[in-house]
Chain A
Amino acid sequence: MLNRNKVLYIDGHEFRRLFTGGVDWLSQHVDTINNLNVFPVPDGDTGTNMLLTVQKAQSFVDKLADDHIGRMTETLATGARYGARGNSGTILSMLLRGFAQGLAACEVMDAQALSVACRHAVDYAYETVRSVMTPQEGTILTVAEAAAASVESLIQSESNLFKLLDAMIQAAGKTLEETPELLPVLKDAGVVDSGGAGLVALLEGFQQAATGEAVQASVFGTIITRQMSYSANGVAQQTTVTSPPPDDPEGYGYDVQFLMLGDDLDVAKVQADISAMGWSPLVDGDKNMIKVHIHVHNPAVPLDYAIQSGAQLDDIVVENMQRQYEAFASGSQPGHNGENPAATDDIAVIAVVRGDGLHDIFIEYGVTAIVEGGQTMNPSTGDLLAAVDALPNRRVILLPNNKNIILAARGAADISDRQITVVPTQSIPQGLAALLAFGDYKDDASWEMLTEHMHDAAASVLTLEVTKSTRRVDKLGDISIQDGDFLVLADGKASSSSADMFDAILAAFATVDLDQRELVTIYYGADVTSEQTALLIENLHAAYPQLQSEAVAGGQPLYPYVLSIE
């Protein structure tokens, strides 16, 4: 344990211990953070994404025998880059990278080094985000900036790292509470920023590990409790506590990931059963598909379990974490940047897609490979890199098809040695439009023109996404939402809601400028039938006789309908 009066510096080992405490504390609040979503819909889960990001970071340093804090944080940051998932997870990985760069030359970290590293972390993250989009205030970036500023303001008078960490947590917490004032969508939704909350939880976990005591007055907990009192319908739930990785003579074991496919899967049961098999479990999904992630000593155990449950398995990935670490330590990354002997100059397109029907459509229109994922299942930078590496193509275009996957995709583009461009598609219809443009221009246009055409094609499509609200929100933009309402997002913005799905969709159409629009394509999900869809088309046709409609079986979960208006 650290003596809180006297912590003037820490080394790499100690940092790892604190980081582990942070991961553990974050893991205990995953569901709470997941529920801090702006739109009360099943979308990218920030808590899950951040946890997977830091768990990957942790797996890279599990057995790193190095006291050097510069090398320790660099290794952590590298792991985080591979694990980066979702916007907040990806920004967190940037913060870690910048932090590590700030410590590169340091054997140990004192107050001065902490201050420099924090500043570098925040500047690096802002700069990197800025290179692809305008950074938003009221997010994890703002919270990180407050934490860094607090260290800088105290550095002249305070050299005790513990006190500085405490100041960081207080400042981060204060700013987290202010995020709804900075970002109106948060205020409307009655939530604080989820990514910022994850950062506070992570820092607070550092503190717990440092003192060895349970946090008495958790800043995170206080904010969440306060938030629940004013949020219309706070839904913080206590999560299953995940166990930390073992200090085990058997070594690292294996990282096992797979998808279970079925008709009536029991998520809660799979969650409980899988979690009992190992450490760092993450089980997420619905009755048609469950994504399983677990670290175990014997990968056969979870795989056998899943097969015997009667589910179909797909996308099975088993990684030997020992070898991964060794490869990393010896300077050669496993499984990336490797030039395939049959390397080709043809351009590949990789799209993130979920749903059988949507798979078929993307394949029909020429996608080279598909990474399973989308709403609620955001693939990581590492997942996308693995898909790139599996192809022989030197040039690859990534279609994330979801706003929460774009940054992870950019991360993959940064890491890979291949020429990768991310066309930042935010929905399935946008992705398809870009894919069609790819087919039209790939033989004639330069790389820049090609991706620009794809970009333009994506921009020409209006997307409506229909889903069921997971909680009540009194004011989200111009609408109010009851728990269980159908909510329609128009190009990602809340457009309408109603207890009746068709009413919600027609209300959303009423807000759309339909001049110059002639075709509605309806991708219907796994939970609706073609008969229901025919009824929807009848309704649309009655209201908008000038529009043509086309129904396509998308098979996506959670979103009964995704519509494009062109």
Chain B
Amino acid sequence: MTRIKIIVDSVADIPLSMRQKWDIGLIPTYVNYGGNSYADDGIELDRTAFYNAMPDMGEFPTTSAPSPALAEDILRQSLDGYDHIVAIHVPERYSSTINVTRLAAQEIAPDRITVIDGHSLTAGLGLLGLMAAEKAAETDDVQQIVSLVERVRDQITIYAAIATMTYMQRSGRVNNVVAAVGSILQIKPLLRVQQGDIDVLHRIRTFGRAVDKVRELAHEHTPLERLMVLHIQNEDGANQLKSDLEPLLPQDIPIMEVGPTLGSFIGPGSLGVLVLPQVK
């Protein structure tokens, strides 16, 4: 019996309770502000406090990947009770975390650690982690888990209505988005995250209409296998969106808050949905 452990990074935004329930490991990323560096692990950094402080931070927060030594420690500890690790990470173009894990795996036990690019962000990665963990509970075949992740990762789409461009403009991370949105007029872009790409689908002047568009786009993917509502410090908006979308899914629709690592580039207020269509 091969025991398989799933590991994700902070960008997957899986709440601590869920990680504990499914025994999912975490290689944290770090958020740096106010002269300190905090592991984005749901323990060290209080996300509500972070977001509340965000608009008034003199300097914008930055993020950093974990050190290779830390990644090695985490992988080594995980291998104590398991035969194999499947690590699902934020795409390389947005963070060096996946390469840190790859290097660490080379150092420790390349044949016992499989590193996969999740081709998504936030709940997209989180969903892959959870589905992989569900699979790991019922199989001892690593290849089945890898196949599942590789099949699902390109079917996931996230649509997000961005409440403010302030943070993205200052981050310098998504220049294609910033350029498309321009700087003269206030624009609430509607972004799509799909197969690892972030694209500006619509440039909308008002947040209300951007959210309308998110709702409309979610309908285009039905019938749905999974649906999640995402937000940053916008619980009311998320609840409204959830109740609007309830007809699309028989199960309860989970609401998830995007964590500080990714959230520091987006800022408070934004809303989004994740959709995974049923396999035809």
A390 to B205, CA, bound (A): 32
Q: Tell which of A361, A439, A519 has the most Cβ of chain B within 10 Å.
A: A519
A78 to chain B minimum Cβ distance, whole angstroms, is: 41
Contact A440–B208 (Cβ < 8 Å): no
Interface residues of A in 459-507 (CB under 8 A from B): 460
Contact residues of A: prevailing secondary structure:
mixed
- Asked if B182 is at the interface (CB within 8 A of a chain A CB), the reply is yes
Q: Which residues of B contact A360 (CB under 8 A)?
A: 184
Contact A365–B208 (Cβ < 8 Å): no
Contact B205–A364 (Cβ < 8 Å): no
Determine which of B200, B202, B209 lies in contact with A566 in the assembled complex, contact meaning CB atoms within 8 Å.
B209
A439 to B202, CA, bound (A): 8
Contact A361–B185 (Cβ < 8 Å): yes
Contact A519–B186 (Cβ < 8 Å): yes
Contact A364–B202 (Cβ < 8 Å): no
- Asked if A521 is at the interface (CB within 8 A of a chain B CB), the reply is yes
A interface residues, tally (CB under 8 Å)? 20
Contact B205–A566 (Cβ < 8 Å): yes
* Nearest A-chain residue to B204, judged by Cβ: A436
Contact A566–B206 (Cβ < 8 Å): yes
A365 to B204, CA, bound (A): 12
Q: Which residues of B contact A517 (CB under 8 A)?
A: 206
- Asked if B201 is at the interface (CB within 8 A of a chain A CB), the reply is yes
Determine which of A361, A440, A516, A564 lies in contact with B203 in the assembled complex, contact meaning CB atoms within 8 Å.
A440
- Asked if A189 is at the interface (CB within 8 A of a chain B CB), the reply is no
Q: Which residues of B contact A518 (CB under 8 A)?
A: 206-208
* Nearest A-chain residue to B212, judged by Cβ: A516
Contact B186–A365 (Cβ < 8 Å): no
Q: Tell which of B203, B205, B207, B209 has the most Cβ of chain A within 10 Å.
A: B205
- Asked if A351 is at the interface (CB within 8 A of a chain B CB), the reply is no
Q: What size tier do the contact residues of chain B reach?
A: 10 to 19
- Asked if A315 is at the interface (CB within 8 A of a chain B CB), the reply is no
Determine which of A365, A439, A440, A516 lies in contact with B185 in the assembled complex, contact meaning CB atoms within 8 Å.
A365
Determine which of B180, B204, B205, B207 lies in contact with A521 in the assembled complex, contact meaning CB atoms within 8 Å.
B205
Contact B182–A364 (Cβ < 8 Å): yes
A564 to B203, CA, bound (A): 16
Q: Which residues of A contact B204 (CB under 8 A)?
A: 436
* Nearest B-chain residue to A362, judged by Cβ: B184
- Asked if A550 is at the interface (CB within 8 A of a chain B CB), the reply is yes
Q: Which residues of B contact A361 (CB under 8 A)?
A: 184-185
Contact A440–B201 (Cβ < 8 Å): yes
Q: Which residues of A contact B205 (CB under 8 A)?
A: 433, 436, 519, 521, 564, 566
Q: Which residues of B contact A436 (CB under 8 A)?
A: 187, 203-205
A404 to B99, CA, bound (A): 61
* Nearest B-chain residue to A439, judged by Cβ: B203
A518-B207, A566-B205 known; A364 vs B184 contact (CB < 8 Å): yes
- Asked if A552 is at the interface (CB within 8 A of a chain B CB), the reply is yes
0/1 per residue, A221-245, Cβ < 8 Å to B?
Answer: 0000000000000000000000000
Interface residues of B in 183-226 (CB under 8 A from A): 183-187, 200-209
B159 to chain A minimum Cβ distance, whole angstroms, is: 13
* Nearest B-chain residue to A460, judged by Cβ: B209
Q: Which residues of B contact A460 (CB under 8 A)?
A: 209
Interface residues of A in 531-566 (CB under 8 A from B): 548, 550, 552, 564, 566
A-B residue pairs in contact (CB < 8 Å), sample of 15: A361-B184, A364-B183, A364-B184, A364-B185, A365-B185, A436-B187, A440-B201, A440-B202, A518-B206, A519-B205, A519-B206, A521-B205, A548-B186, A550-B185, A564-B205
What are the nearest 4 A-B pairs in CB distance? A440-B202, A436-B203, A364-B182, A519-B206
